[in-house]
Amino acid sequence: MSCLFHHWSAKLRAHLAPDTQQSAEVQDSLVKSLYASPASLMIGALAGGALSFVVAYHAGRAEITTIATLIFLVAVSRSISAVYFLRQLAHHEGPTQQAWGLAYELGAWGYAALLGLLAFSTLILTGDASLHILSVCLVAAYSGGIAGRNAGRVHIAVGQTCFALLPTSLGLCIAGGLGYWVLATMLFLMIFAMAEITRTTHRIVVEALQGNYEKSQLATKFERLARFDSLTGVENRMAMQMRLRELFDKRRSDQDSMAVFWMDLDRFKEINDSLGHIIGDQLLCTVAARLSHALDGRGHVARFGGDEFILICPGTDRAVAGEIAHDVMAEFGHDFDVSGYHLTVTASMGIAVAPEDGCDSEELLQHADMALYQAKRAGRNRHAHFDWAMKERQNRTYELEMGLRSAMANGELLLHYQPIFDTVTGKIAICEALMRWDHPTMGRISPAEFIPVAESCSLIEPITAWALEQACRDAMQWEEHVRVAVNISPALIKSDGLPRAVIAALMGSGLKAKRLELEVTESIFLEDSGRTSLILSELQRIGLRLALDDFGTGYSSLGYLRDYAFDTLKVDQSFMRSVGEEGRDRAIAQSVAYLAHSLDVETVAEGIETEEQLRYARELGFSNVQGFVLSRPMPAADLLTMMADMKREKSNVVTLMQNRRRA
Ligand code: C2E
Ligand code: MG
Ligand code: MG
């Protein structure tokens, strides 16, 4: 028996110890479960109070009446506190769960003790068996009910059964008689039975709550993963799109403004490639933090992907958007310290503001992206506001891109040739191939417009291959000393495709390599990784001539003339334009011609439009001249006629001019 008692008391102690394993949320739910059903508390209070008064009435003893009154008062105050707790819970305010747990505990124990005391007093102060039965039944029924009801807090339930049953057992023992003694023993044992039931119920409740809690934690985690960018912690693309849509829907009127900024780091790939992805990732995190700092609560930051960020600022008009852009760009004014590296990073930004720049989230984003593209094109490290002209340009570019894909196959592309004359002999020395596109609906389109489009959509390679092939084939019909010049896009110089296309064109036509001249501009040296010079020297090795086109518009670095053995230097038309008027231009042009002569490099004065310019070009010592005053670009057949005429009439550039003057 004593062994059994030790076993149970140890269990009871274990139950009474606070359960530190449970999470705060589960503890909270357990306290809430105590107050979960104020109705059961009220029914218990009503039953307990009514029966106590019945016992007190029949017993006719002041002590019992006092206890019954106290029972009633405690019951009422507990019912009220339960309602109050639930109301506070609904308003998310009020004392902590520990305070409520303690209040419940004291109330419960007080109530149980009073019931126990009522039974005890009835048993020892009255001799009425029916009152004994009533009071003992009240306590037994209460204890039975409490085991389940208060399973959320094991020690409260166990305390309640002890406080209620122990005095009752004692009272039964004192009242005496075999039946009472047996009942006393049963009630005593009931404490342990009820404790076991409470413990089991508690375990089941806790497991269920814990399961629920873990499920909700998991759901929260997944929701976070779905909404936030795992690297930088700011919202991700999906959340950004949802937010933008919601903000649009929430706008009170169509006239409410909202700004969207699309930002992209300049040359982030280079940082990633040279310093590694870990540094790149850390940089992105720092950028995200700086963006949030710059916004300072004026909007939301999201990472669109890669090194692109989107900022959304509700209620922001164009003027305020400009200020925000200024603040954001200022963040890039100082270096980024990442793992010991001081990185100078710049960014470009496109801005679109509703309602003027777009009337839904998709359109606004698209326009901010378009503005970003403009900022990049304008030289990076700047911001650009969207304007509708950008959209028109883009639409036209798109149309050109679509058209270009089929232009070659449909025979819409053709080559015109502009002769370049030797200033000494006056004869045609070179013919420059200039591409033309006769679009079926848009008419003739300038190469200055469609060549950049071809470059941006990787069509420049097949187009150039075609031009090389066609030019070489046409040149085979000219006199042996006339060369053909083909313009080559800077982007193509780095590609392996160029030498292949050149060789195919030469082999296909049978043209000698020395009759083919490739015209390149200075921009090929801008992002030179060493590959450019390799390809250029390879092309020269097979006998091709290289011409530096538009000299004078770019950096005009003499370094290029030193490092690369160009065969021809074409001085840009803008340069030649004022040759006749201003002394400085004349001096520079003369020096270039002189320098080229010393380096044994041929020169071409481009864009000669007047006889005066022509005279000057010859005086300055240019070896060749090209321009409208001499000849406009013309179809291959017209060129052949011109060549034949010149040969027949033994004419040269001087007679050509005289003929023209006469005409
Ligand atoms: P570019 O290579 O500098 O060609 C000379 C441009 O100046 C040509 O314009 C020509 O028509 C024009 N021009 C010639 N003489 C005069 C003149 O006296 N006054 C004026 N105002 N202009 C003159 P075009 O044909 O419109 O070509 C423009 C540019 O397009 C070319 O400049 C070249 O960079 C590019 N391009 C033309 N064809 C091709 C090609 O097949 N491939 C590549 N990649 N680019 C090409
Ligand atoms: Mg050219
Ligand atoms: Mg040129």
pLDDT digits (tens, 9 = 90+) for 479-528: 999 999 999 998 888 788 899 999 999 999 999 999 999 999 988 877 67
Q: How far is the CA of 479 from the centre of ligand 1 (A)?
A: 23
Cα–Cα distance, 611 to 190 (Å, whole number) = 124
Question: Is the CB of residue 434 below 6 angstroms from any atom belonging to ligand 1?
Answer: yes
Percent of the chain at pLDDT above 70?
Answer: 91
Residue closest via CA to ligand 1's atom 37 equals 434
SS3 per-residue string spanning 528-578? CCCHHHHHHHHHHHCCCEEEEEEECCCCCCHHHHHHCCCCEEEECHHHHHC
For residue 137, name the pLDDT band (cuts at 50, 70, 90).
Answer: very high
* 440 φ, ψ (degrees, to nearest 5): -60, -35
What ligand is nearest to the CA atom of residue 628?
A: 1
pLDDT above 90: residue 156 = no
Q: Assess whether the C-beta atom of 552 lies below 6 angstroms from ligand 1.
A: no
Range 537-543 average pLDDT:
90
Query: Could you tell me where the DSSP H helices lie in 297-387?
Result: 318-330, 361-377
At residue 428, does pLDDT exceed 80? yes
Residue 2 scores a pLDDT above 70 = no
**Smallest CA separation from ligand 1 atom 42, residue:** 487
Q: How far apart are the first and last CA of the chain?
A: 137
- Least confident segment among 202-211, 274-283, 355-364, 414-423: 202-211
pLDDT confidence band for 21 (50 / 70 / 90)? low
- In short, whether 487's Cβ falls inside 6 Å of ligand 1 is yes
What residue's CA is closest to ligand 1, atom 2? 487
Please tell me the predicted confidence (pLDDT) of residue 580: 59
pLDDT score of 456 more than 70: yes
Mean pLDDT throughout 581-592? 77
pLDDT value at residue 582: 61
Q: Which residues fall inside 5 Å of ion ligand 3, going by CB?
A: 549-550, 606
One fold for both 237-386 and 411-662? no
pLDDT of residue 7: 53
Least confident stretch, 33-47, 346-360, 463-477: 33-47
Whether 74 and 110 have beta carbons less than 8 Å apart is answered as yes
Question: Which of 306, 231, 234 lies closest to 271 in space, CA to CA?
Answer: 306
Q: Is 498 a pocket residue for ligand 1 (Cβ < 6 Å)?
A: no
Mutational pocket test of ligand 1: of 430, 434, 498, 613, the residue with most ligand atoms within 8 Å of the beta carbon: 434
CA of 395 relative to ligand 1 center, distance in Å: 24
CATH number listed for the domain at residues 411-662: 3.20.20.450
Q: Which ligand is in closest contact with the Cα of 447?
A: 1
CA-angle at 605, arms to 600 and 606, nearest 5°: 135
- Residue 431 CB neighbours (<10 A): 29
Q: What is the rounded CA–CA span in Å between residue 357 and residue 359?
A: 7
Query: Ligand 1 atom 29: the closest Cα is on which residue?
Result: 448
Q: Which of 511, 427, 447, 524 is nearest to 476 (CA)?
A: 511
Q: What does the alpha-carbon distance between residue 380 and residue 347 come to, in Å, rounded to a whole number?
A: 7
Q: Is the CB of 194 under 6 A from ligand 1?
A: no
pLDDT at position 628 is 95
> Is any ligand 1 atom within 6 A of the Cβ of residue 549?
yes
| The pLDDT of residue 367 is above 70 | yes
Mean pLDDT on 103-112: 84
Mutation test residue for ligand 1: of 408, 412, 437, 487, the one with most atoms within 8 Å of CB: 487
pLDDT of residue 92: 61
Q: Could you give the residue ranges of the DSSP H alpha helices within 251-339?
A: 268-275, 277-295, 318-330
* pLDDT score recorded for residue 103: 76
Residues 124-139, buried b or exposed e (16+ Cβ, 10 A)? eebeeeebbebbbebb
What integer is the mean pLDDT of 160-171?
93
Tokens 């009337």 appear where?
A: 359
Can you tell me the distance from the alpha carbon of 620 to that of 450, in angstroms, rounded to the nearest whole number? 35
Closest by CA to 518, choosing from 407, 552, 501, is 501
Give me the pLDDT at residue 8, please.
47
pLDDT tens digit sequence for 75-107? 888 888 777 777 776 666 555 666 776 777 788
Q: Does 607 have pLDDT greater than 90?
A: yes
Distance 646 CA to ligand 3 centre (A): 25
649: CA distance to ligand 1 center in Å?
A: 29
- Ligand 1 atom at shortest distance from the alpha carbon of 489: 44
Q: What is the pLDDT of residue 204?
A: 87
What single letter denotes the amino acid at residue 565?
A: A
Look at residue 352 and tell me whether its pLDDT is greater than 70.
Answer: yes
pTM value surpassing 0.75: no
For the cut 60, the answer to whether the pLDDT of residue 543 exceeds it is yes
CB-based contacts of 93-101 (< 8 A; 24+ apart in sequence): 97/27, 97/28, 97/31, 97/32, 100/31, 100/34, 100/35, 101/31, 101/34, 101/153
User: What pLDDT band is residue 18 in, cutting at 50, 70 and 90?
Assistant: very low
Work out the mean pLDDT of the chain and round it to a whole number. 88
Whole-number Å distance between alpha carbons of 91 and 101: 18
Ligand nearest to the CA of 576: 1
CATH architecture, domain 237-386: 2-Layer Sandwich (3.30)
> Can you give the pLDDT at residue 173?
94
In order of 419, 582, 621, 623, the CA distances from 627 in angstroms are 8, 20, 16, 14
pLDDT of residue 20: 43
Domain ranges of the chain: 2-222, 237-386, 411-662
Q: Which atom of ligand 1 is nearest to the CA of 519?
A: 2
**Which is higher by pLDDT, 512 or 45?**
512
Quickly state the pLDDT bin for 115 (edges 50, 70, 90): very high
- Return the SS3 of 381: coil
- Tell me the C-alpha distance between 392 and 635, whole Å: 32
